[in-house]
Amino acid sequence: MNVKKFSASSTREALRMVRDALGADAVILSNRNVNGSVEILALAGDDMSSLAPAADQRVNPEPALAAFATARRVDHGRDNGRDHDQAAGLSEALGTARDNVQRAQQLQPAPQLAMPAAATAAGSQEMSAMMNEIRSMRTMLESQLAELTWTSQAKREPVKSSVLREMLAAGFSASLARFLIEKMPEASSQESGMKWIKSILERNLSTLVNENEMIERGGVFALVGPTGVGKTTTTAKLAARCVMRHGPGKLALITTDGYRIGGYEQLRIYGKILGVMVHSVKDQADLKIALDELKGKHTVLIDTVGVSQRDRMVAEQVAMLSGAGTEVKRMLCLSATSTGETLNEVVRAYQGDGLTGCIMTKLDEAATIGNVLDVVIRQKLNLYYVANGQRVPEDLHVANQQYLVDRAFKLKRETAPFQLQDAELPLVMANTARNMNDASLRGVNLG
């Protein structure tokens, strides 16, 4: 391996020399102060080998060190002159890693020597521990370097930093916020920056263009989702809209909720008020029979039993609806009071062979709604309705992109005690580095 040494009066100048000599993909092996100058050892990116050696090879410390250095690519624009003390600290960590790899090399038996099985196993175990330690230190250094980068960016681009805080306070995930901030064009003010962010969010938020697509076209719709998200009340609201448009004779209600005490009774009361019969089914066979009998109805709404996204019954429920012999369009109810992580898990669990759309519930109870919008954008769902109360049918509205995005940023004032301070922002954003290749972010339309 062709390791080269570069010396300069500052880190910035030394890195420039590395980039000019070895290219932007050069790998930094060490960075230290020597007699008032900065000394960097580096090698070309093409020389970097895999971290883990083959099982029948001795450990070579050079490629391990190269990979451990996490291939901190030489990017002159992002370095911004880290101070010498920080560089020396990272260099010390790299030196420790070098020592560990050399110790691992000594522990690995030479191929020509026959070693007892117990000794070989012990050596392999200790070597594995060494490599795990190196990986752990690599992760730590990546996080520290990312923190330095974001601290520098906050000073260099204060508008982007301010917009980033706005997105986090509104409930959007750190990874989506970072993705958009990095793509955001230079803005002269926070106002212009926020205008761009809102336009991108609106463009990627898919909503029901015309309610007639559902109410006029009709069909069989099943409302699915975890317990307590408001499926039964939302079913009643949709039923009332259908009755007002087509009359009670064109609508039928079905419930699969035979577990919750009073679940059937609640929907039956709504049905009685609307003048609509409510049918109760227990399994796929019952559902097939009920749907065959209701073929003449313009719209059939199915209220399903609430099941935790981690319950195996979710898969059984999806299979029952898919195998009913009639096309059943599943509408997922997403509670605005749930965290983004929970909502993402819910969508993955209920996705099955595809969701027709989703309904945001409990808007009136949520402190932020950026979490729901984030998941809808990532999962490329079609947001049909928004429910913001218990009144039937008044508290159900067709989703509006501009209103929801604007509402997301207005609600953030309720989260003031939980908003990030300037010193905390780099710590949060440093952990998003590994999520930037998330496939769910690749389809975001930036215009």
Q: What is the CA radius of gyration of the chain?
A: 29
Place of tokens 């090399």: 105
The CA-based dihedral angle spanning residues 109, 111, 113, 114, taken in that order and rounded to the nearest 10 degrees: 90
Residues of the chain with pLDDT under 50: 49-85, 87-88, 91, 110-113
Q: What pLDDT, on a 0 to 100 scale, did the predictor assign at position 28?
A: 78
For position 64, what pLDDT does the model report?
41
- Mutual angle of helices 231-246 and 263-274, in 10-degree steps: 20
Judge if pTM exceeds 0.95: no
Q: What is the pLDDT of residue 142?
A: 60
Looking at residue 77, what is its pLDDT? 41
Give the DSSP per-residue string, 121-154.
HHHHHHHHHHHHHHHHHHHHHHHHHHHHHHHHHH
pLDDT in the model for residue 384: 95
Q: In this structure, is the dihedral angle defined by the CA atoms of residues 333, 339, 343 and 345, taken in order, positive or negative? A: negative
Q: What angle do CA 247, 250, 253 make, to 5 degrees?
A: 105
pLDDT in tens, 105-157: 555 554 444 556 666 676 677 777 777 777 777 666 665 655 555 566 656 77
- Cα separation, 358 vs 223, in Å, equals 9
Query: How high is the pLDDT of residue 252?
Result: 94
Residue 71 — φ and ψ, nearest 5°?
45, 50
* Strand 299-303 versus strand 382-387 pairing type: unpaired
What is d(CA 321, CA 325) in angstroms, rounded to the nearest whole number?
9
Strand locations in 258-389, DSSP E?
Answer: 278-280, 299-303, 328-335, 357-361, 382-387
Q: Return d(Cα 358, Cα 158) in angstroms, integer.
A: 37
CA neighbor of 232 nearest in space, from 336, 308, 303, 282: 303
For residue 34, the cross-strand partners are: 37
What integer pLDDT is reported at residue 81 of this predicted model?
Answer: 47
Domains of the chain: 4-156 (no CATH), 209-398 (3.40.50.300)
